Amino acid sequence: MITRRHLFTLAGCFSLYPALVSGRETQRHELLKYLHPQSDRAMAAMIRIGDVWLQTNPVDLTSLLRRLERDLRLHQQPVGSTEEFAERAARRISSDFDQDDTVDIRGWMLAATEVRICAFFSLCARGL
């Protein structure tokens, strides 16, 4: 599951997402540095979840980011801090469970949003 620390990281990640979408190599390397504070094993785990989901739900990075942006209402209500972003993502994940918007990843019942976040990490890793 997505920890608070992951979400903080992701918040920063989203602040850089225009650069990601533009796909410039140097900026992606910057992002990798930014993502790296998590433990290698946790990162690897998230990437593996993302990989599993992507096998049956192929999507490109741009589309995935737009979907996350929409689900997390980043345009309508821009986040002002990593904490705010984390809270919003946590609410959305909770709401996914309430709405039965869940994904089965090899037996684990996970929220669709948290799986998409994993897929985001996965695609980033592939692209770098």
Partner 1 sequence: MSSWYWKTLLFIDALDLEDAAEISADICIVGAGAAGIALALELMKSGRTVALMEAGGLESDDQAQALYAGKIEGLNYTPLEAARIRYFGGTTNHWSGWCWPLDPIDFEKRDWMPNSGWPISRADLDPYYLRAQPYCEIGKDDFSLQGWASEQEPALNAPGLESRLLKFSPPTRFGLKFRPQFAASERVAVYLNATLLQLETTATGERVTAGMFACGLGSRRCRVLARHFVLASGGIENAKLLLQSRDTHERGLGNRYDLVGRYFADHPGHARGLVLFNDPEQNLSLYKYHRQLPTLKEKITDGGSMAAFLQTEADRQSMLDWIEAGADEAEYQRVIKPIVERSCLACHNSAGIAFFRNFETFSGLREVALRPSNMNPGAVGYSAGLVLSDEQQRQEEIGNARTMLADRGSWSDLFADEDFFESVGVVLDNFTDLSRAVYNRALSPESKRTIGLMRCAIEPVPNPESRITLTEERDALGQPGIALTWKLTEQDKRTFERTETAIGRALGSSGIGRLLKAGDLNDADWGNTLNHGWHHMGTTRMHASPRSGVVDERCRVHGVANLHIAGSSVFPTYGYANPTLTIVALALRLADDLTVGFES
Nearer to partner 1, 21 or 44 (CB): 44
Q: Distances in Å between the alpha carbon of 17 and those of 51, 55, 56, 96, 99? A: 20, 23, 24, 23, 28
Residues 7, 90: contact at Cβ < 8 Å? yes
Between 60 and 84, CB nearer to partner 1: 84
Among 23-31, 63-71, 76-84, 106-114, the segment contacting partner 1 (CB under 8 A): 106-114
Residue 107 within binding range of partner 1, rule CB under 8 A: yes
Please tell me whether residue 21 binds partner 1 under the rule CB under 8 A.
no
Q: Does 89 bind partner 1 (CB under 8 A)?
A: no
Distances (CA, A) of 5 to 39, 74, 82, 90, 113: 11, 19, 10, 12, 16
Q: Which residues in the 28-47 window bind partner 1 by CB under 8 A?
A: 39, 41-42, 44-46
